[in-house]
Amino acid sequence: MNPLRSCLVTVLTLAALGCHGDAVTNSPVIPSAATTWMNAVSDTGQLDIRVVDIPSNAGFFDANFRDALQFPQAIEAGRRHVRVFLSSTDPAITQQTLVDTTYDFVVDQRYGFYVTGFARASQTPAVRATIVPAPAATLGANQFGIRVLNVAPSFAGAVPTLADTTVRPDVFVRRINTLPGGTPDAASVAYLGVSSYVALDTGLYRLEVTATGTTGPAIVQVPLPVGAVGTPTTNPIAGSLVPGTVLTALIVPRSVVGSKAPQGGTPSSKATEVLTRSNDTVTVQSGSITNLVNRGASLSDTTIAKTGTGATTGVKPGDVVLVSGATEPDYNGWQVVMAVADSLSCKPTAPADTRTKCAAANDTATTRFRFRYRIAAAPASPATGTASYRIYTTTTADFTLPYVSFVVDRRPPDTTP
C-alpha cells in the first residue's frame, strides 16, 4: 500500500472511532482583573462600553444614564483599549466614539469604570472615562465597608434648591435613628473625588449628602441596600446587613432637561392628615379607618368611617421620604423613617388592643396609619399647611434631582458548600 494512503486510512479510522491525539485538554486560565461599569453621562442616550484590542466578554451595552453593572465583571488583565460608543441600530450612529482610552488592569485587582461628564460639545466638564481602583477594605468580623465617589458635576435640581450647585458635599453614613453629626464619613468630595473606605457595624443605614461643613439640610438622602444574610443553601446578597460587603456609593446628577437621557420618574405624593412633634420625634399620620368588629361568625368586619387616605403609609423602617408642604420648613426635606407606628384602639378599650380583643360584638376599632422620623429643630406642633411625602428607595429612578447609586466592590463570603 502506498505509505500516504496507509496514513490516510489510519487517520480516517481514528476519526471514525472518535479518537484524537489529546483526549483531555485543560483550557488555559486567563489572568483577569474585575470591574464594575456605569453610565453617568446625563445629557445623552444609551451607551456601549467595549474592549476593542482583544475579543472580550467584558463590557456594558445599551446602558442608559445611571445604569450600572452592580457586581464586578471579569476583564482580561493587562493594557486594555476601551471605547465608548453611542448605542443604536443605525451604523452611522454606533460608529460615533465618545471616549477612547487605555488602562492597565492588574491581575486579581478590582476597579470601577465610570463614564462621566457631558456628551454635548458646549458643556463642561467633557465626557471622559473615570477609572477608580477598588482596593481591599479592612473590616471587622461583623462589619461592612463603604466609600463615596462624586460623579455629579452639578447638584442642579436638588431639594431644597441650592444657591451653589457646584458645592462640594460632605457625606454622612448613619444608622436610621441617628441624626448627622460629628465627622463626616467623606468630607468635601470634589467632582470625581473618591473617599477612603469606612468600616461600619452591620445594620440599617442611610446616606446623607450635605453642603461642606454642614449637617443639613440634606442635598439628597438615600437608604443603603440591606442585602440578605446567607444560609447553608443560599449565598448572601451584598448589603449593609451582611458582614464582608464592600460598597461604593456614587453621587449622580439629575438628567439634563430635554436631552435623550431618561426624564421624570418622580414618585407619587402621599398626603398626610397631620404632622405632630414630641421633642425631636415627628409622627406622620396619613389617615385612619374605623371598623365594626367581632360581629359574629356570619358577619365580617365593616368599615364605617375613613379619614385621609384610609390606607397604610407604605413605608418601613429605614425608608427615606421627601416631605413637603408643611408651613414650618423643619418638617420638610429628606427624612428617614425610624419606625412604623400604626396604632389600633377599641371602644371599650381592651388590654393590649388588637382587633380580636375588642371586648364585645359591634365594637368600634380605629386603626391610625402612622410613621415617625427625627428632626433637629423644634417647630410648632402640630404642623400647619398641607404636607405630603414621597417614598425613595435604593431603586428609585427620579431623574429630576441628584441621587445616589451603589455598586458592589466585593461580595460577602459564600455560605454554601
| 74 part of a folded domain | yes
Burial degree of 295 (CB within 10 A; 0-12, 13-18, 19+): middle
For residues 237 and 356, state if they share a domain.
no
**Amino acid at the residue 161:** T
Cis before 243 (ω within 30): no
| 19 part of a folded domain | no
d(CA 262, CA 294): 51
Lowest mean pLDDT among 1-5, 38-42, 270-274, 298-302: 1-5
Give the three cell numbers for residue 102: 487605555
For residues 59 and 77, state if they share a domain.
yes
Asked if the model's pLDDT at residue 16 lies above 50, the reply is no
For residues 50 and 90, state if they share a domain.
yes
For residues 282 and 382, state if they share a domain.
yes
Predicted confidence band of residue 22 (pLDDT cuts 50, 70, 90): low
Asked if the model's pLDDT at residue 190 lies above 70, the reply is yes
| 9 part of a folded domain | no
- Residue-wise pLDDT for 312-343, tens only, equals 999 999 999 999 999 999 999 999 999 999 99
Of the candidates 68, 102, 134, which is a domain's last residue?
A: 134
d(CA 313, CA 56): 48
Of the candidates 134, 166, 187, which is a domain's last residue?
A: 134
For residues 353 and 401, state if they share a domain.
no
d(CA 151, CA 61): 20
Domain ranges, residue 58? 29-134
- Residue-wise pLDDT for 387-409, tens only, equals 999 999 999 999 999 999 999 99
342-357 CB burial, b ≥16 within 10 A, e <16: eebebeeebeebeeeb
| 3 part of a folded domain | no
For residues 212 and 229, state if they share a domain.
yes
From residue 99, alpha-carbon distances to 39, 54, 68, 153 in Å are 12, 17, 17, 18
**Amino acid at the residue 394:** T
| 10 part of a folded domain | no
- β partners of residue 291: 303, 365
| 315 part of a folded domain | yes
pLDDT value of residue 24 = 63
CATH of the domain at 56: 2.60.40
Asked if the model's pLDDT at residue 49 lies above 50, the reply is yes
pLDDT value of residue 362 = 86
For residues 171 and 155, state if they share a domain.
yes
- Number of C-beta neighbours around residue 367 at 10 A: 18
Cα–Cα nearest to 209, from 250, 177, 264: 250
- Residue-wise pLDDT for 215-257, tens only, equals 989 999 999 999 999 999 999 999 999 999 999 999 999 999 9
For residues 142 and 245, state if they share a domain.
yes
- Residue-wise pLDDT for 345-357, tens only, equals 888 777 777 777 7
| 220 part of a folded domain | yes
pLDDT value of residue 368 = 94
Domain count, the chain: 3
Residue 263 phi, psi (nearest 5): -120, 165
| 15 part of a folded domain | no
pLDDT value of residue 357 = 79
For residues 145 and 260, state if they share a domain.
yes
Of the candidates 90, 115, 134, which is a domain's last residue?
A: 134
Give the DSSP H or E segment for 208: strand 205-211
pLDDT value of residue 7 = 44
For residues 95 and 242, state if they share a domain.
no
What does the pLDDT average to over 139-146?
97
Contact 250, 403 (CB under 8 A): no
pLDDT value of residue 226 = 96
Q: Are strands 68-76 and 110-116 parallel, antiparallel or unpaired?
A: unpaired
Asked if the model's pLDDT at residue 20 lies above 90, the reply is no
For residues 297 and 336, state if they share a domain.
yes
For residues 340 and 256, state if they share a domain.
no
